[in-house]
Structure 1
Amino acid sequence: MSATVPLNRTPRVIPGFGLTLGFTLFYLSLIFLLPVASLLLFTVSMSWHDFVAAVTHPQVLASYRLSLLASLAGAGINLLFGALVAWVLVRYQFPGKRLLDALVDLPFALPTAVAGIALVTLYAKSGWIGQYLEPFGIKIAYSQLGVIMALTYIGLPFVVRTVQPVLADLEAELEEASASLGASRFTTLRRVILPSLLPALLTGFALAFARAIGEYGSVVFISGNMPYRTEITPLLIVAKAEQFDYHGAAAIGTVMLLSAFVLLLLINGLQAWASRRA
């Protein structure tokens, strides 16, 4: 006699909710929770005075400011131009489209150190592009502008790949109906397209920002690593560890972890609000 599935149960491909949930929790704990917990416990072993002194040093505060502002600037640039790239890839057919679509994923595959060297080759004073910017007083390599350039480069795919499928599923008939009712292009963009894309745009912004806040390899080559000017926080953490100041590195890392968590929590709240509104 063949086994029958009870009517009140839905057959599942992977049986056993308890088993799969346990494996999920074990995997997340091993990969994420344990490293974070060990960092926090190591930081807690410091005295409050030492912790405050480590995280409020003027050099550390300057690195906070540069890392956060440059990451926000890079994510903001990608929010605008990444959405534009996604629009072109979805709405238009042109020669070389597949090549352009593949190039978007290049920052995923290219080692960050190679990306940093490539950016220096382009934007240094004697670089292919930098030599033409130097007469106008525009300095990209070994400046804060170079840091933003590197963070923009590594964050672009996150916005494009987040917005692209949502834009592909957006029905063109809605835009045609808006135009037939007399709405201008700007009104159609503001009232029809943007509300549908807003959750994806915020998700792409959050992913690009989270990727930029912890970036090290590409920035270390193009920034020049000048204290108080172009020194990012991940580089400062590495420098502390190389000097065997593990408590200082852990304290700075804890501040960056908490700051990134709060910012991502705010962005996720905005994303939830945008989804409900859409």
Structure 2
Amino acid sequence: MILNAPFVKPSVLPGFRLTIAFTILYLTAIVLLPLGALLFRASSLGVHEIVALALDGRTLSALKLSFVTSFAAAAFNVPFGLLIAWVLVRYDFPGRRFFDAIIDLPFALPTAVAGIALTALYAPKGWIGSVAGLFGLKIAFTPIGVFLALVFVGLPFIVRTVQPVLAEVDRELEEAAATLGAGRLRTIASVVLPVLSPAILTGFALAFARAVGEYGSVIFIAGNIPYVSEIAPLLIVIKLEEFDYAGATAVAAIMLLVSFGTLLLINLIQARARARYGHV
């Protein structure tokens, strides 16, 4: 019987049966049921129609742009997010709390506001866009603009997952490595990064997941040009506006399956890192 299974550990707080039942019910109602309805709706098209839609040039282009730029933006944020977290944790300087607070602005800022601000900055007549235009570089209304928008929304996930773990890292380990003759780079690579790797992977997964589904901050700066800067969430909205509900749910189901597979792979790597370096 599941309630007497060996994974049930004794706890100071009673109520395992009630809490596990509520957990399963809540996750089913909030997460599994909507996703199941999405897959069921998409299955009404049939396998051949879904495959044909998935292989359509416009769909492939939108999916490629969404997933490739999301992965690139999350990867780009890892070293810079780690550096920011390091500065905020390891150094005390004037204005530290101010800089620590503005890290959360992409969380609180409405995505439409972020998109308008980024477009005004990187558009051909914007402050940065106009300067980039002098060198023949166009940022807004291109995949570069999509990438920058996803970097903007994803940075806090890296910083906020790494920051508390870094604060708990025992500095005596670093001092011991230095005593044994290890330089700064070797100490970071051999002592600090292995301990932080599960948190880094968690932040990467969260930033990637947020970027894949991002809509409001991207559509303004993307330009939404088919085969060039059209993201998959926008393609879903377009199909809904055309009353192609089956096609919209099919594209959404494809995004769901690819996202789930990617996040599952990241979680497996993260679990392996935790098993190797211990829980942090």
Aligned residue in 2 for 1:200: 199
Aligned residue in 2 for 1:190: 189
2-side partners of 1:59 and 1:265: how far apart?
A: 27
Aligned residue in 2 for 1:89: 88
Aligned residue in 1 for 2:44: 45
Aligned residue in 2 for 1:221: 220
Aligned residue in 1 for 2:103: 104
2-side partners of 1:81 and 1:48: how far apart?
A: 43
Aligned residue in 2 for 1:6: none
2-side partners of 1:229 and 1:159: how far apart?
A: 28
Aligned residue in 2 for 1:236: 235
- The percent identity for this pair of structures is 57
2-side partners of 1:186 and 1:86: how far apart?
A: 17
Aligned residue in 1 for 2:149: 150
Shift of 1:11: 3.9
For normalisation by structure 2, the TM-score amounts to 0.93
Aligned residue in 2 for 1:28: 27
Question: Are the structure 2 counterparts of residues 176 and 137 from structure 1 closer, same or farther at C-alpha, using a change threshold of 3 Å?
Answer: same
**Paired residue type of 1:16:** G
1:245 matches 2:244? yes
2-side partners of 1:263 and 1:47: how far apart?
A: 24
1-side partners of 2:216 and 2:63: how far apart?
A: 17
Aligned residue in 2 for 1:56: 55
SS of alignment partner, residue 127 of structure 2: coil
1-side partners of 2:172 and 2:12: how far apart?
A: 38
**Paired residue type of 1:251:** A
Aligned residue in 2 for 1:264: 263
1-side partners of 2:11 and 2:60: how far apart?
A: 55
Bigger shift: residues 75-84 or 129-138: 129-138
Shift of 1:10: 5.0
What do residues 80-104 of structure 1 show as CA deviations (whole Å, max 9, x unaligned)?
Answer: 1111110010011111111100000
2-side partners of 1:218 and 1:81: how far apart?
A: 21
What do residues 75-125 of structure 1 show as CA deviations (whole Å, max 9, x unaligned)?
Answer: 001111111110010011111111100000001000111100000011111
1-side partners of 2:149 and 2:134: how far apart?
A: 22
2-side partners of 1:179 and 1:10: how far apart?
A: 42
Number of equivalent positions? 268
Aligned residue in 2 for 1:119: 118
2-side partners of 1:30 and 1:140: how far apart?
A: 42
Question: Are the structure 2 counterparts of residues 92 and 11 from structure 1 closer, same or farther at C-alpha, using a change threshold of 3 Å?
Answer: closer
Bigger shift: residues 142-151 or 120-129: 120-129
SS of alignment partner, residue 137 of structure 1: coil
For normalisation by structure 1, the TM-score amounts to 0.94
1-side partners of 2:117 and 2:178: how far apart?
A: 45
Bigger shift: residues 16-25 or 80-89: 16-25
Larger Rg belongs to = 1
Shift of 1:51: 1.6
RMSD: 1.1
